[in-house]
Structure 1
């Protein structure tokens, strides 16, 4: 689970970008922290870089497919 120390550096956002689930191996639509919805593994990735492929980590049989969901979006200035 992602954590932070200073809440002043984060803001809550209801953008539907946080509701989308992305398959492995596609280009990340946003920079930030993504979380696998099945196992909870988290990765940080830059916008335009490829989300980890299917063989990055495996789920035990019956746990479901790997899907990445944006957890924290990074904004550059």
Structure 2
């Protein structure tokens, strides 16, 4: 689970991008934190960086190895 200390740096946002699932070894569409749907393992990835391959971390048999963005790192100036 992603954690944070200062809520001033986090904004709740609803967008379909958070619902999309991404296959292993595909480029991350946005910079942020991605969570493995099958086991909950989290990684940080830069936009365009390949998401980890299948079996890059332990899974229980039968779990789905796909990635879901849970935190989007917005690089636009505010």
Cα deviation digits, residues 50-69 of structure 1 (max 9, x gap): 0001131242222x221100
**Aligned partners of 2:32, 2:66: CA distance in 1, in Å?**
15
Unaligned runs of 5+ in 1: none
Aligned residue in 1 for 2:4: 4
Unaligned runs of 5+ in 2: none
Q: CA RMSD in A?
A: 1.1
Aligned residue in 2 for 1:20: 20
Q: Structure 1 residue 33: deviation in Å? A: 0.2
TM-score (norm: length of structure 1): 0.91
TM-score (norm: length of structure 2): 0.90
**Aligned partners of 2:73, 2:54: CA distance in 1, in Å?**
24
